[in-house]
Structure 1
Amino acid sequence: MVYWLVKWVFLGPLLRLFFRPKIEGAEHIPAEGGAILASNHLAVSDSFFLPLKVSRRVTFPAKIEYFTAPGIKGKLKKLFFTGVGQIPIDRSGGSAAQAAIATGVRLLREGHLMGIYPEGTRSPDGRLYKGKTGIARIALQAGVPVIPVAMFGTDKANPIGSKMWRPYPIRIKIGKPLDFSRYEGLEGDRFVERSITDEIMYALMELSGQEYVDVYAAKAKELQAAHDAGTVTDVPTQLKRDARIPETEAS
């Protein structure tokens, strides 16, 4: 009930008025049954505009800190994020990552439509970064299709670090579902999971037109922070170097 009130009565009308969001390819989203919407991630507002333009309820995993702040402000924040379809996920460690995957699989098996950002965090510069294999693990275990989604303009409406959103036209493009049933029974194989994740990222690259960087976005943010602190002088060169070094997979 809270979700639909937020979408149609409170937040939705304001977003439609100031941002005029449009969606292409909505017919690729199944009318029922579990499926993953795998989206690029440019801004916090991605999680607001995508559910707004999809007729079905979309559930996004969100960091648990959004739901545990103390006081009245914390309760209002929890109510708001619950209202926009987000569920709390503890991402602090390995066991927490497994719990997040288990939650995603359960929701998908129950027939939910789940939104996932394969990059794991917002892009620091508008480029598309390497995907984490958790999405592949969830898709295989739940046995559901993955539908690529490209967001456009959310980084202009809601730039990183901004406290106020700026009116800007938002566009959402939905691609054709990706079927990974050919890998049934191979969940847990890291090479299969990497192959699936790379296929998803390639579909996102084609759909969004973004430049692809074969490094995790979190690593790019670390390098930028190091550059700002004066300990790294050439971020592009370091990114290229890191792209050639095998990285430990993360969910």
Structure 2
Amino acid sequence: MAEFVYPPVVLAAKTLFRVMDYRIDVQGTEHIPATGGAVIACNHVSYLDFIFCGFGAQPAKRLVRFMAKEAIFRNAVAGPLMRGMHHISVDRSAGQASYQEALAKLKAGEVVGVFPEATISRSFTVKELKSGSARLAAEAGVPLIPMALWGTQRLWTKGRPRDMGQRHVPISILTGAPIEVPPDADLDAVTADLRVKMTALVDRLQKDYPDQEPGAWWLPAHLGGTAPTLEEAAELEARKPE
């Protein structure tokens, strides 16, 4: 398909990264196939994660088509860009159409990006995952690739004011080994395994992160930060759903 919008957007993002001097560390790109379909399943800590998840696939020269909530496509600015980059609109009240669109893209050799937590994790730990990414990989016959991001929450996350003016923020992107998902796989078991692998990737990024600030709001509670625990975050979500 013609790519009139995606390459200029990537160039603009890279220019912004240089201007802001984000210290971006990308590892594990060798796990992203150079050709053919694949599902990338990424943790979700920021409203900007799709940008950095897509950036993580750039060394493999792959353009990722993200499944994103339909409201973004209605935005006057973001909507035309999302459609121009051939991302996939997800209407949660009628999800089968978006699932079929994603499946068709995978079978056509595209890379589809999914945030299986469905919403941003306020605890900055990996929440329970939806099984859709495993189901897509099984039905399309493509690998399921775990990816983790860390640091993006410092720029813009749920429940915090946007702070895009920060410079020199370290942002870490780590891709793990593909998970092969046979057509008859137990999707619940695959999803549980995916969560374990995503958590291990996030733990590694947190351990190696160059900025260590005990008591920081953007650190999870188990690392000495003031972010809510997974249980406290679930209570917040119940009171103030996205």
Q: Shorter-chain TM-score: what band?
A: 0.7 to 0.9
- Give the corresponding residue for 1:150: 148
Residue pairs, 1:178-217, within 5 angstroms: 178-181=179-182, 184=183, 186=184, 192-209=186-203
Deviation at 1:155, TM superposition (A): 0.8
Contact 1:48 1:84 (8 Å CA) reproduced: no
1:117 and 1:110 mapped to 2: Cα distance?
Answer: 21
More helix by share: 1
In the other structure, the counterpart of 2:70 is 64
Larger Rg computed on CA atoms: 1
Q: Which residue of the partner structure matches residue 129 of structure 2? A: 131
TM-score of the superposition, structure 1-length normalised? 0.75
Q: CA–CA distance in 2 between the matches of 1:14 and 1:78?
A: 20
Deviation at 1:219, TM superposition (A): 9.0
Other structure's SS at 1:23 match:
strand
Sort the Cα spacing of 1:87 and 1:16 in 2 relative to 1 into closer, same or farther, 3 A: farther
Distance 1:40 1:225 in 2: 17
Of 100, 103, 114, which residue of structure 2 is paired with 1:102? 100
What SS class does the counterpart of residue 21 from structure 1 fall into? strand
Residues 1:79 and 1:12: Cα distance change in structure 2 (over 3 Å): farther
**What is the alpha-carbon root mean square deviation over aligned residues?**
2.5
Distance apart, 1:82 and its partner CA: 3.5
Checking the alignment, whether the CA contact within 8 Å between 2:67 and 2:113 is kept in structure 1 is yes
- Give the letter for the 2:81 counterpart: F
Tell me how far apart the structure 1 counterparts of residues 199 and 155 of structure 2 sit (CA, whole Å): 21
Q: Is the 8 A contact 2:88 2:101 kept in 1?
A: no
Is this contact kept in 2: 1:21–1:49, CA < 8 A? no
**CA deviation after TM superposition for structure 1 residue 133, in Å:** 1.1
1:123 aligns to what SS in structure 2? coil
Give 1:40's aligned residue: 43
**AA partner of residue 19 (structure 2):** L
In the other structure, the counterpart of 1:86 is 87
Contact 1:24-1:173 within 8 A present in 2 as well: yes
Residue in structure 1 matching 2:56, options 47, 53, 57: 53
